[in-house]
Amino acid sequence: MGSLFVASGISRNIKILINKNTTMKQCCLLCFFIASFFFFNAKIKIKILDMLMYFDGYGAKVDTPLPPPGIIRHKNYLYARKMTDKEMNAVGTTLQMIVTVKASCDNYDRIGNVNMALVSKDSLSYDPNNVPRIELGRFITPFMNKNVMPDSVSYEFEINNIALLMKDTGITNHYNIWIELEIFGVPYAANTQVAGCGGRNDVFFGSLTFITNTLYPAKSNNILIPMAISQNFNNYQASATDTLGKTTRTFQINLSENLTDASFYLITSNHGSNSGGEEYIRRNHFVYVDNSLVLQYKPGRTSCEPFRKYNTQANGIYGSSPRSPAQWQSFSNWCPGDKIDIRRINMGPMLAGPHTFKIAVPDAVFTGAQGNFPLSVYLQGKTSETIDNSSILDTLIIIKNVYPNPANSFFTIETFGAKADGIVIYDALGRTVLNKLESFNSTIINTSNYRPGIYFIGVIKSGRIKYRKLMIVR
C-alpha cells in the first residue's frame, strides 16, 4: 500500500533570539509565526505505487507474483490503486507527480502514462474501459540497459488543476479516486541484447509519488468532462479519424451550465510509422474550438542531449557523439527519457450548450498504414472563480488589441506586459503566410498582398501562442 509523510522543505535554519525584555505575548506571537511558516511550507509526500514489476505487454497476463494488497494488476502493463481517505484529505493547493522507471528487460523507448479513474463508491474493483478516466501525464522510457548506470529515470509533472478535482465534493461524494500507472514494454530485443535477460518477460519497474502542500478546503465548483484517453488518432482507421485519409478528429461536448473559467488539457505524441513516417517528422498540429483556431504546435524538444545519460543501450537513437539542436529537430518528435507536454488551452468563460473540439494534422503521412498519435483530452472548468495552474504549458498570452478588424492593407497588434517574441499568421486553410520572430509590444503588419478572407494571428511568447481571428477585406 501507499505511505504518507511530511518533509519541511525549508532550506535554511531560522534562529530566534529572545532577550529578557521579550514579553510572553511576543513569544506567543513569534511561536505562532514560526509554526505557521513551517506548516504552510510543509510538503506532504503520498507514495501511490512503489517499484512494481511490469511484464511483457503482448504476453499472456501474469498471475504471479501477486501485486501488493490493495493494488490491482489490470494488465501486464497497467496497475491501479485507490487513494485512501487520509491521502485525499492531505491533498492541498498544489500537486506534483513524480514517476520513476527502473530498467529491467526492455531496452527500447516505450510510452508510459499516469491516469486517474473515477470509480463508484460501492465498487471494490473496476474495468478501466467502463469508468470515466483522464490522463494526468505521459512519458517516454529511455533506451536503458539494466546493467549500466544510471538504470532509472524520473519524470516530474506539475498538475495543480488535479488537486482541485480531488478536493471537489461534487466528485468525491460519488466517486473514489483510483490512480493508474501504465508502462508498456516488450522484452524480445533485450532477451538477446542484454546480459541476464534471456528468457525473461519482466520489462520495467515503476513507482509513482504525489507531493502536495498544505490543507485545502473542499469545494464543489469544478466541472470535469473526460473526452478521450489514449485513443487512436491517425488517418487510416475509421474509428480514429473523422474521414479516412485525413488526420482530423472532432469531439462534441455539451455544457449543462455556464463556466466562468474553462481549459482543455491535451496530450499527443507521435509514434510509429517507421523512418519514413510520423515518428521522425515534425508536423504542425492545429486545434479548433467551435471552429476557431485556438492552438498550433509542433511536438519535440529543441535538443534531446539533456536525456542522453539515461540512454545507456547502444542501439538507441542517440549515437556515440552529441548532436546539434538542428540535427535533433530534423527528426525527433520526442526524447527517450523525457516527458510529453501537457498542453493547457485556456478558453476563459464558456456558455452552456454544445461545443466542438477538433484537432487536425493535415500533413501527416502514416507510411504503410502504420503509426498513431495516442490522443488524450479533457475539459475542466469552474462554475465560479478561476483555475490557477501556470506551470502547465498554457497557451494564454495577453493580447490587448488587434485593429482595425476587418483590415484592408494593414493591422496593428498590441500586447500587455512583457514583450512578445514574434508573430505567426495562418490563412483559413492552415497555411503559414507569415512567421516573424521579432520582440514587440506593438507592431504593424502590412496585409496589402493578402487575399481577402479569414486569418488567424498568433502571438508567440516563450514558445507559447495565443490567437486572434482577423478578417481582411478589400
pLDDT tens digits, one per residue of 94-117: 999 999 999 999 999 999 999 999
Residue 282 domain boundaries: 221-299+341-396
85 plus 138 within the same structural domain: yes
248 plus 278 within the same structural domain: yes
- How far CA 302 is from CA of 142, 282, 403, in Å, comes to 18, 12, 34
18 pLDDT above the threshold of 70: no
pLDDT in tens, 348-384: 899 999 999 999 999 999 988 899 999 999 999 999 8
Confidence category of residue 391, pLDDT binned at 50, 70, 90: low
Cα–Cα distance, 34 to 392 (Å, whole number)? 32
Lay out the sheet containing 399-403: strands in order across: 399-403, 410-415, 442-446
5 pLDDT above the threshold of 60: no
Do the beta carbons of residue 118 and residue 132 sit within 8 Å?
Answer: yes
404 plus 465 within the same structural domain: yes
Confidence category of residue 39, pLDDT binned at 50, 70, 90: very low
Residue 95, helix vs strand vs coil: strand
For residue 122, give every residue at least 6 positions away whose Cβ sits within 8 Å of its Cβ, in sequence order, or none: none
Query: Residue 387 falls within a domain, yes or no?
Result: yes
pLDDT attached to residue 11: 33
pLDDT in tens, 275-291: 777 888 889 999 999 98
374 plus 417 within the same structural domain: no
Query: Residue 170 falls within a domain, yes or no?
Result: yes
Cα–Cα distance, 122 to 131 (Å, whole number)? 13
State the CATH number of the domain containing residue 106: 2.60.120.230
Query: Residue 323 falls within a domain, yes or no?
Result: no
pLDDT attached to residue 331: 87
pLDDT attached to residue 19: 44
**Picking from 52-56, 144-148, 312-316, 357-361, which range would have the lowest pLDDT averaged per residue?**
312-316
262 plus 165 within the same structural domain: no
Q: Between 77 and 331, where is the model more confident?
A: 77
For the chain, give the percent of residues with pLDDT over 70. Answer: 88
55 pLDDT above the threshold of 70: yes
pLDDT attached to residue 127: 97
Confidence category of residue 417, pLDDT binned at 50, 70, 90: low
Which of 216, 251, 269 is the endpoint of a domain?
216
Query: Residue 318 falls within a domain, yes or no?
Result: no
447 plus 364 within the same structural domain: no
Query: Residue 451 falls within a domain, yes or no?
Result: yes
6 pLDDT above the threshold of 60: no
Query: Residue 326 falls within a domain, yes or no?
Result: no
State the CATH number of the domain containing residue 414: 2.60.40.10
387 plus 466 within the same structural domain: no
245 pLDDT above the threshold of 50: yes
E-state strands within 59-151: 71-75, 78-82, 95-103, 111-120, 133-140
Do the beta carbons of residue 156 and residue 98 sit within 8 Å?
Answer: yes
For the chain, give the percent of residues with pLDDT over 90. Answer: 65
DSSP 356: E
Query: Residue 308 falls within a domain, yes or no?
Result: no
448 plus 426 within the same structural domain: yes
4 plus 151 within the same structural domain: yes
pLDDT attached to residue 277: 77
Mean pLDDT of the chain: 87
pLDDT in tens, 188-237: 999 999 999 999 999 999 999 999 987 777 788 999 999 999 999 999 99
201 plus 76 within the same structural domain: yes
Query: What phi and psi values does residue 10 have, to the nearest 5 degrees?
Result: -90, 130
DSSP 452: S
What are the grid coordinates assigned to 410, written together?
Answer: 494593414
228 plus 87 within the same structural domain: no
Which of 370, 396, 422 is the endpoint of a domain?
396
pLDDT in tens, 58-86: 999 999 999 999 999 999 999 999 999 99
- What does pTM read for this prediction? 0.80
DSSP 92: B
Which of 371, 396, 421 is the endpoint of a domain?
396
**What's the number of domains the chain is made of?**
3
238 plus 361 within the same structural domain: yes
What are the grid coordinates assigned to 413, written together?
Answer: 497588434
What is the distance, to the nearest Å, from the Cα of residue 14 to the centroid of all Cα atoms in its chain?
A: 37
Query: Residue 330 falls within a domain, yes or no?
Result: no
